[in-house]
Amino acid sequence: MSESPWVTHLGRALPPVEIDPVHSLGSYVVEAQSGSEYLDLFGCQPRRALGFNHPALRASDGLLTSGQGVDCRWLVSPVCTQAVTRLMQQALAPDFSAVEFLESREAAVGFATQMVVHQHQGRSVGRQPQVITFSGACHGRHGLAALLSDATLVPWSCGLPPLDWPQLPSPTLTSMSQAQQLAVIEQRELHAEKALAATIARLGGAVAAVFVEPIQGAVGEHFFRSGFLQTLRALADNHGFLLVFDETDCGFGMTGQLWDYQSHGVIPDVLVFGGRMGVSGVAFRDPTLRLPLAAAWGPTGLCGSLSDFWALDRTLAVLAEDDLLTNARAVGGYLTKSLAELQADHPELSGVRGRGLIAAFDLPDAEARDRLVTAGFEEHLLMAPAGVRSIRLRPTLDVTADTIGRAMAQLDAALKRAQGKKT
């Protein structure tokens, strides 16, 4: 099978799936070679907020095709202006007042990192600025973004020397069974808060920023609780460093809010975005933060193609017109509830967790997880492996309850198939 942009990989357990982009529709993917239809709960959707061939993204004037090679850094277009205006008014204001667009998530994280280090220069006499990160984070797979990530997820094989910056343990929630895990998570949070306070004291004012993914997707959707994120905000305010949220994976409506920070009552100083938006970038509460570095980098302001910004504008319009945030909360709640019901029937399934349309669960080990991914494929259900033994589910914002109901029936059959039971 030849590689193309329409090939998705679901881990070592399965061969690549070549997608037919013409006949795939909504949450259903048509495999190009066989014509078989698969219900996609993640595998083919990491950069799509809406399902395949959504009517709003069908460009009758050919813009979506003809604009793919047009770099908006060198073009002033009403299409780009309208998309950026809608993004600021609908999704970023009033919390953020400036935005910078970059080529990729890695470029956006790199820009944000250089920006926070640059603004901190001179404030820590005799010491280089430091950025604090958390274990389990995956901010990207090359460049500075890889160096900020957990080395167990992104090995240092990228050829860059590791940064001597502190990485603290993540006190994340890995199950929605609050009664069982509450004491454990509170102890983890207390330990992390003490470690953070000790690190701040040891570095003596050299902390430039704390980077955090509110939901750590690469390890299997591990959630930070609101109280801990509020503690980070208070420490940033008290000690004069910046709080940076990387919402590339969890932002843009996936949690039922436009951004996950809105679920916690915490506004970061800097927001990294991308993923399903189709464009990547950095938003700033203080617009002056970006000016020195933006001038040094040159015209990064609208990195992305004309078609990227056209699709962003149309997606934002659909998100508002069809009230997809409400859909994400309602259908996402149904998804998590349905997974919990399956967990009650299948003892091998554990750790069900979710917020909005971001959900995950665990299997006993990696081998059992891979068997279930394979069994799901055989039941025409696409799911993504994550972490050591987890499976991630992230349907698109326009997914319906009926589709989730069908997916749960297929998952139930896949669980039985993986256990060698008759379906």
pLDDT exceeds 60 at position 306: yes
Among 273, 330, 263, 325, CA closest to 304: 273
Letter string b/e over residues 27-44, b meaning 16 or more CB atoms within 10 A of that residue's CB? bbbbbbeeeeebbbbbbb
217 and 272 part of one domain = yes
119 and 241 part of one domain = yes
Q: How many CA atoms within 13 Å lie on the side-chain side of 333?
A: 6
pLDDT in tens, 329-362: 999 999 999 999 999 999 999 999 999 999 999 9
344 and 409 part of one domain = yes
Q: How many domains does one find in the chain? A: 2
DSSP assignment of 15-45, as one string?
A: --EEB-TTT-BBTEEEBTTT--EEEESSTT-
Residue 275 included in any domain: yes
* CATH number, domain with residue 333: 3.90.1150.10
Please say which residue of 291, 319, 347 terminates a domain: 319
Contact criterion met (CB below 8 Å) for 205 and 124: yes
- The pTM of the whole model exceeds 0.85: yes
Among 18, 71, 68, 76, CA closest to 43: 18
Which tokens is 112 given?
């944000």
297 and 213 part of one domain = yes
Which tokens is 387 given?
């972490």
Report CA 217 to chain centroid distance, whole Å.
6
Contact criterion met (CB below 8 Å) for 251 and 281: no
Residue 264 included in any domain: yes
Residue 46 included in any domain: no
224 and 250 part of one domain = yes
Residue 231 included in any domain: yes
Confidence of residue 86 (pLDDT cuts 50, 70, 90): very high
Please say which residue of 319, 338, 368 terminates a domain: 319
Domain extent for 296: 65-319
315 and 341 part of one domain = no
Residue 401 included in any domain: yes
Size of the chain, expressed as the number of residues it contains: 423
* CATH number, domain with residue 206: 3.40.640.10
Residue 194 included in any domain: yes
Among 25, 59, 62, 60, CA closest to 44: 25
What is the percent of the chain where pLDDT is above 70?
A: 83
Per-residue pLDDT, averaged over 238-258, amounts to 96
Residue 7 confidence (pLDDT) = 39
pLDDT in tens, 112-167: 999 999 888 766 666 789 999 999 999 988 888 888 888 777 765 456 667 789 99
116 and 16 part of one domain = no
Please say which residue of 268, 287, 319 terminates a domain: 319
Residue 395 included in any domain: yes
Contact criterion met (CB below 8 Å) for 232 and 168: no
289 and 351 part of one domain = no
279 and 352 part of one domain = no
281 and 178 part of one domain = yes
Residue 200 included in any domain: yes
298 and 330 part of one domain = no
298 and 336 part of one domain = no
Using DSSP bridges, classify how beta strands 270-273 and 37-40 pair: parallel, antiparallel or unpaired. unpaired
